[in-house]
Protein backbone atom coordinates (compact mmCIF):
# COMPACT_ATOMS: atom_id res chain seq x y z
CA UNK A 1 0.00 0.00 0.00
CA UNK A 2 1.47 3.35 -1.08
CA UNK A 3 0.86 6.60 0.71
CA UNK A 4 -2.41 8.05 -0.56
CA UNK A 5 -2.76 11.48 -2.08
CA UNK A 6 -5.44 13.87 -0.80
CA UNK A 7 -6.59 16.62 -3.15
CA UNK A 8 -9.40 19.11 -3.52
CA UNK A 9 -11.49 18.18 -6.55
CA UNK A 10 -12.17 21.86 -7.35
CA UNK A 11 -8.44 22.59 -7.43
CA UNK A 12 -8.12 25.61 -5.14
CA UNK A 13 -7.81 25.20 -1.39
CA UNK A 14 -9.55 28.53 -0.76
CA UNK A 15 -13.19 28.07 0.17
CA UNK A 16 -16.16 30.25 1.10
CA UNK A 17 -18.92 29.83 3.62
CA UNK A 18 -21.69 27.33 2.68
CA UNK A 19 -19.54 25.93 -0.13
CA UNK A 20 -19.67 22.21 -0.96
CA UNK A 21 -16.17 20.73 -1.03
CA UNK A 22 -15.04 17.36 -2.42
CA UNK A 23 -11.79 15.87 -1.12
CA UNK A 24 -10.41 12.95 -3.10
CA UNK A 25 -8.19 10.34 -1.46
CA UNK A 26 -6.43 7.69 -3.54
CA UNK A 27 -3.55 5.24 -3.18
CA UNK A 28 -1.89 4.35 -6.49
CA UNK A 29 -0.86 0.89 -5.33
CA UNK A 30 -2.43 -1.59 -2.97
CA UNK A 31 -4.73 -4.56 -3.32
CA UNK A 32 -8.45 -3.83 -2.90
CA UNK A 33 -10.58 -3.63 -0.98
CA UNK A 34 -9.14 -0.44 0.47
CA UNK A 35 -10.59 1.52 3.36
CA UNK A 36 -10.06 5.28 3.25
CA UNK A 37 -10.51 7.46 6.31
CA UNK A 38 -10.60 11.27 6.33
CA UNK A 39 -9.27 13.22 9.31
CA UNK A 40 -9.43 16.88 10.30
CA UNK A 41 -6.53 17.33 12.58
CA UNK A 42 -6.66 14.21 14.76
CA UNK A 43 -10.43 13.85 14.54
CA UNK A 44 -11.94 11.23 12.26
CA UNK A 45 -14.47 12.72 9.86
CA UNK A 46 -15.64 9.86 7.62
CA UNK A 47 -14.70 6.44 6.23
CA UNK A 48 -15.28 5.01 2.75
CA UNK A 49 -14.54 1.52 1.39
CA UNK A 50 -13.47 0.88 -2.19
CA UNK A 51 -13.51 -2.57 -3.81
CA UNK A 52 -11.67 -1.31 -6.89
CA UNK A 53 -8.93 1.21 -7.69
CA UNK A 54 -11.21 4.28 -7.80
CA UNK A 55 -10.52 7.11 -5.34
CA UNK A 56 -12.65 7.78 -2.30
CA UNK A 57 -14.41 11.13 -2.55
CA UNK A 58 -15.43 12.84 0.70
CA UNK A 59 -18.10 15.52 0.32
CA UNK A 60 -18.09 18.30 2.89
CA UNK A 61 -20.01 21.53 3.43
CA UNK A 62 -18.24 24.55 4.92
CA UNK A 63 -20.76 25.69 7.52
CA UNK A 64 -18.44 27.48 9.92
CA UNK A 65 -14.84 28.50 10.51
CA UNK A 66 -14.28 25.20 12.32
CA UNK A 67 -14.76 23.33 9.02
CA UNK A 68 -11.58 24.77 7.53
CA UNK A 69 -8.06 23.85 8.47
CA UNK A 70 -5.79 20.84 7.96
CA UNK A 71 -7.14 17.59 6.50
CA UNK A 72 -5.40 14.29 5.73
CA UNK A 73 -6.53 10.81 4.78
CA UNK A 74 -5.49 7.27 5.58
CA UNK A 75 -5.54 4.23 3.30
CA UNK A 76 -5.40 0.64 4.55
CA UNK A 77 -6.13 -2.89 3.33
CA UNK A 78 -5.74 -6.39 4.72
CA UNK A 79 -2.03 -6.45 3.91
CA UNK A 80 -1.02 -3.12 5.47
CA UNK A 81 -0.40 -3.13 9.18
CA UNK A 82 -1.27 0.38 10.32
CA UNK A 83 -2.23 1.97 7.02
CA UNK A 84 -0.57 4.85 5.20
CA UNK A 85 -1.30 8.56 5.59
CA UNK A 86 -1.40 11.28 2.98
CA UNK A 87 0.28 14.65 3.18
CA UNK A 88 -2.04 17.23 4.74
CA UNK A 89 -4.00 19.80 2.76
CA UNK A 90 -5.12 23.05 4.34
CA UNK A 91 -8.51 24.56 3.49
CA UNK A 92 -8.58 28.34 3.94
CA UNK A 93 -11.77 30.34 4.42
CA UNK A 94 -12.09 33.43 2.23
CA UNK A 95 -14.01 36.39 3.69
CA UNK A 96 -15.56 38.86 1.23
CA UNK A 97 -14.47 42.48 1.38
CA UNK A 98 -16.73 45.04 3.01
CA UNK A 99 -17.64 48.34 1.36
CA UNK A 100 -14.46 50.44 1.41
CA UNK A 101 -14.34 53.94 2.86
CA UNK A 102 -12.73 56.70 0.80
CA UNK A 103 -11.44 59.67 2.79
CA UNK A 104 -8.90 62.48 2.92
CA UNK A 105 -7.47 64.68 5.64
CA UNK A 106 -9.03 67.67 3.89
CA UNK A 107 -11.98 68.20 1.59
CA UNK A 108 -10.95 71.74 0.61
CA UNK A 109 -7.99 72.41 -1.63
CA UNK A 110 -6.42 75.06 -3.81
CA UNK A 111 -4.93 74.71 -7.26
CA UNK A 112 -1.29 73.75 -6.93
CA UNK A 113 -1.90 71.80 -3.71
CA UNK A 114 -0.89 68.21 -2.97
CA UNK A 115 -3.64 66.05 -1.43
CA UNK A 116 -3.94 62.41 -0.38
CA UNK A 117 -6.82 59.95 -0.72
CA UNK A 118 -7.05 56.79 1.37
CA UNK A 119 -9.23 53.74 0.69
CA UNK A 120 -9.81 51.02 3.27
CA UNK A 121 -12.04 47.95 3.48
CA UNK A 122 -12.32 47.00 7.17
CA UNK A 123 -13.24 43.37 6.50
CA UNK A 124 -12.08 40.82 3.96
CA UNK A 125 -9.40 38.20 3.51
CA UNK A 126 -5.99 39.43 2.46
CA UNK A 127 -4.60 40.37 0.08
CA UNK A 128 -7.05 43.12 -0.94
CA UNK A 129 -6.64 45.00 -4.22
CA UNK A 130 -7.74 48.65 -4.51
CA UNK A 131 -8.27 50.89 -7.54
CA UNK A 132 -9.03 54.64 -7.48
CA UNK A 133 -11.39 56.44 -9.87
CA UNK A 134 -12.25 60.01 -10.84
CA UNK A 135 -15.69 59.86 -12.38
CA UNK A 136 -15.67 56.59 -14.33
CA UNK A 137 -11.99 56.73 -15.21
CA UNK A 138 -9.51 54.75 -13.15
CA UNK A 139 -6.60 56.96 -12.10
CA UNK A 140 -4.39 54.39 -10.39
CA UNK A 141 -2.86 51.02 -11.04
CA UNK A 142 -4.25 48.17 -8.90
CA UNK A 143 -2.78 48.53 -5.40
CA UNK A 144 -2.40 45.14 -3.68
CA UNK A 145 -2.33 45.36 0.11
CA UNK A 146 -0.96 42.43 2.13
CA UNK A 147 -1.89 44.06 5.47
CA UNK A 148 -5.08 45.63 6.85
CA UNK A 149 -3.90 49.08 5.85
CA UNK A 150 -5.43 51.74 3.65
CA UNK A 151 -4.30 52.13 0.05
CA UNK A 152 -3.02 55.67 -0.52
CA UNK A 153 -3.21 57.83 -3.64
CA UNK A 154 -1.23 61.08 -3.84
CA UNK A 155 -2.73 63.77 -6.08
CA UNK A 156 -1.68 67.18 -7.33
CA UNK A 157 -4.60 69.57 -7.81
CA UNK A 158 -3.67 71.16 -11.11
CA UNK A 159 -6.95 72.14 -12.78
CA UNK A 160 -10.68 72.43 -12.19
CA UNK A 161 -11.17 68.85 -13.41
CA UNK A 162 -9.23 67.64 -10.38
CA UNK A 163 -12.14 68.79 -8.20
CA UNK A 164 -14.35 66.02 -9.62
CA UNK A 165 -15.98 63.06 -7.87
CA UNK A 166 -13.64 60.33 -6.62
CA UNK A 167 -14.33 56.70 -5.71
CA UNK A 168 -12.36 53.54 -5.05
CA UNK A 169 -13.11 49.84 -5.29
CA UNK A 170 -11.87 46.87 -3.30
CA UNK A 171 -11.73 43.17 -4.12
CA UNK A 172 -10.01 39.95 -3.13
CA UNK A 173 -10.10 36.31 -4.22
CA UNK A 174 -13.71 35.95 -3.08
CA UNK A 175 -15.61 35.46 -6.37
CA UNK A 176 -17.88 38.19 -7.78
CA UNK A 177 -17.61 40.46 -4.77
CA UNK A 178 -16.02 43.76 -5.81
CA UNK A 179 -17.24 46.63 -3.63
CA UNK A 180 -17.26 50.37 -4.40
CA UNK A 181 -16.73 53.13 -1.86
CA UNK A 182 -18.64 56.29 -1.07
CA UNK A 183 -18.11 59.30 -3.32
CA UNK A 184 -15.64 62.01 -2.30
CA UNK A 185 -15.24 65.53 -3.68
CA UNK A 186 -12.61 68.17 -3.20
CA UNK A 187 -14.00 71.71 -3.12
CA UNK A 188 -12.07 74.85 -4.01
CA UNK A 189 -10.93 76.67 -0.90
CA UNK A 190 -11.84 80.36 -0.76
CA UNK A 191 -8.91 82.36 -1.94
CA UNK A 192 -8.21 85.54 -0.04
CA UNK A 193 -8.94 88.63 -2.09
CA UNK A 194 -6.05 90.95 -2.95
CA UNK A 195 -8.08 93.81 -1.49
CA UNK A 196 -8.56 92.10 1.85
CA UNK A 197 -5.21 93.19 3.36
CA UNK A 198 -5.81 96.74 2.05
CA UNK A 199 -9.26 96.90 3.65
CA UNK A 200 -7.84 95.67 6.95
CA UNK A 201 -5.10 98.34 6.81
CA UNK A 202 -7.61 101.11 6.05
CA UNK A 203 -9.80 99.95 8.91
CA UNK A 204 -6.87 100.06 11.33
CA UNK A 205 -5.92 103.56 10.15
CA UNK A 206 -9.46 104.87 10.65
CA UNK A 207 -9.61 103.25 14.07
CA UNK A 208 -6.32 104.90 15.09
CA UNK A 209 -7.56 108.28 13.81
CA UNK A 210 -10.76 107.93 15.81
CA UNK A 211 -8.82 107.04 18.96
CA UNK A 212 -6.44 109.96 18.38
CA UNK A 213 -9.33 112.36 17.87
CA UNK A 214 -11.00 111.15 21.07
CA UNK A 215 -7.78 111.63 23.04
CA UNK A 216 -7.27 115.10 21.59
CA UNK A 217 -10.65 116.47 22.67
CA UNK A 218 -9.71 117.23 26.33
CA UNK A 219 -6.36 118.78 25.45
CA UNK A 220 -6.89 120.68 22.20
CA UNK A 221 -10.49 121.18 21.20
CA UNK A 222 -12.02 122.05 24.62
CA UNK A 223 -9.27 124.59 25.59
CA UNK A 224 -9.59 126.25 22.17
CA UNK A 225 -13.34 126.52 22.61
CA UNK A 226 -13.00 128.12 26.06
CA UNK A 227 -10.43 130.59 24.83
CA UNK A 228 -12.79 131.85 22.14
CA UNK A 229 -15.57 132.69 24.66
Q: What is the pLDDT of residues 51-77, one digit of tens each?
A: 999 999 999 999 998 999 999 999 999
User: Do the Cβ atoms of 99 and 133 come closer than 8 Å?
Assistant: no
User: Do the Cβ atoms of 82 and 35 come closer than 8 Å?
Assistant: no
Q: Which domain holds residue 124?
A: 101-188
Query: What is the model's pLDDT at position 173?
Result: 92
User: Do the Cβ atoms of 168 and 131 come closer than 8 Å?
Assistant: yes
Same domain, 36 and 64: yes
Q: Which residues in 104-138 are b (16+ Cβ under 10 Å) and which e?
A: beeeebeeeeebebbbbbeebbeebbbbbbbeeee
Read off φ and ψ for residue 206, nearest 5 degrees.
-65, -40
Confidence of residue 193 (pLDDT cuts 50, 70, 90): very low
Q: What is the pLDDT of residues 150-180, one digit of tens each?
A: 999 999 999 888 888 999 999 999 989 999 9
Domain of 19, CATH number, reads: 2.60.40.10
Same domain, 107 and 184: yes
Pairing of strands 34-40, 5-8: unpaired
| Residues belonging to the chain | 229
Same domain, 34 and 107: no
Asked if residue 30 belongs to a domain, the reply is: yes
Asked if residue 203 belongs to a domain, the reply is: no
Domain count, the chain: 2
DSSP-derived letter for residue 205 is H
Same domain, 40 and 64: yes
Domain end among 49, 77, 93: 93
What percent of the chain lies above the pLDDT cut of 90?
Answer: 66
pTM of the model: 0.67
Pairing of strands 187-188, 108-109: parallel
Q: What dihedral do alpha carbons 214, 220, 224, 227 form, nearest 10°?
A: 120
Same domain, 84 and 111: no
Asked if residue 183 belongs to a domain, the reply is: yes
6 DSSP β-pair partners: 25
Same domain, 61 and 110: no
Q: What is the pLDDT of residues 195-214, one digit of tens each?
A: 556 667 777 787 777 776 66
Amino acid sequence: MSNPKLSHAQGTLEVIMNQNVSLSCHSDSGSPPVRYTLFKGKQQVATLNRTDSTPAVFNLTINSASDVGEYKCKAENRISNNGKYSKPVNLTLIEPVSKPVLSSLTSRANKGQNVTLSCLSENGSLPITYVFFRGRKNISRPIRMQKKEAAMLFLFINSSSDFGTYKCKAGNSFPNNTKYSNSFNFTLAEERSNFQPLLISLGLILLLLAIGFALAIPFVIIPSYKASE
